[in-house]
A and B are shown apart, each in its own frame.
Chain A
Amino acid sequence: MKFERYGIGIAKGLAVTIRHLLRRPVTTQYPEQRLNTSRRIRGNELIWDKDKCTGCATCAKTCPQGSIEIVTSVMIDENKYQVEKFEVDTGYCIFCGLCVEACPYDALFMGYSYERAKYRRGELVMANEALLASAERQPSGYARPEVAAALPKQSLLLDNDRGKR
């Protein structure tokens, strides 16, 4: 005689839910607790290294959205380009990361931050000094293995599951 249809399934289910009453929650209380994001996150904004940049405009050419604008002038005596304007319209950016992959001098990084939402569209257009790395704007390890190695390991929701209370 099989006991499948005599409410046994419901009894088993009730046992499962009551056991969960004694289990620790796996949720993260976001503003107070934070998970480490992926080390290769393609976060909010591009980060630009002014010293490494040669003004070759490879990033601007590879951008599918055309959201990078770069203006250079020639410095004859040093045989170099002078970057006069490096402007990214983050509102158009699709975070494909092609510019970062294409940069031949590792002067461009994806951002590691994820809380840089803006209130005005105008604030999304960022240029020159605003694109440099700072305390809030850390470079991500996307396509930059040496940056990724220095970042903390990604924490998973699975680590929150500590079993019994």
Chain B
Amino acid sequence: MIQFILRRLLVTIPVLFGIIFITFALARIIPGDPCRAVLGERATDAVCDDFIARYGLDEPMPTQFVIYLGQLAQGDLGESIKYSRPVTALLVERLPTTIELTLLALTFAILVGVPLGLISAVRRNSAADVGTMVFANVGVSMPVFVLGLLLAYVFAIVFKDTPLALPPSGRLGSGVTVVPLAAVWGLQDLQGVPRGILDFLSGIYLFSALITGQWAAWADAFRHMILPAIALGTIPLAIIARITRSSLLEVLGHDYVRTARAKGLRENTVILRHGARNALLPIVTVIGLQLGLLLSGAVLTETVFNLTGAGRTMFDAITGRDYVVIQGLTLVIAVIYVTVNLVVDILYGVLDPRVRLQ
């Protein structure tokens, strides 16, 4: 088991190195004067000389790469031109929104997608099955931003002044705040990395409001996240439903399922205990892969719903050609994606002994 985990870790190292290399290379293929491309046309020569010296842009490429690695090792992702702040600081402030959104979307996708898939497989060719599969087909085909805009229109305009009305933008209603953990726990004097971690956790409102018992704020934050989470979660939901269906159909054809039925077990027991338990294994892998879709989709969803997360920051950076932010975010999100998939791989090995023996 430990050998399996170590092997997986070792395979990940070159991939991480490759990711860093690609982000480095992308920064170097921007056409024209690199300093003025990043800092803007009006940058003075003095500012540019300073910039070139800082990133070693007059050095040979390999040296530049070493400088870049050194900066990354110190947690330096460069500085945003638009905000005049380090990208790391922006991330601590904004990544929590994205994490909250993606986790909620993923939860929605699993909680709805898995049962839908199971029902479709059990009631194969029934109206429920056909309906689910039509929904799944349309669901994977609709762009996240179109669905998001449609949801915003329906729940904010059509259902306006009804109990179904939901806020179409922002994270909290006006006047509502979530008191940060540092303030609740009287840790305002805390500095440095521990404070950063605490602020980061505070930014995940659904988590920080929950553990500090700020119920009204929690409910408000949740209401604001419903539409974005549905918009973002629908494509993964459709994919999960389809995989669950085909996976359960395959498992139900196995001999041991026939044996279970022959033993006279109740149909529910056969499907849930013998069928679903094995059918859900492949879904673990799928969920890891969906994270890529979710993180990409977060850029679109946060833009549609005006959520100031990492995705929205990406959008602003694209609009303002804030190259340093784009590269920093791409790198960090890719690393998160790889890490989650590593964890999923290992988890899969824990759940299915056949995998780790390969």
Do A and B assemble together?
no
Residues of B within 8 A of A (CB): none
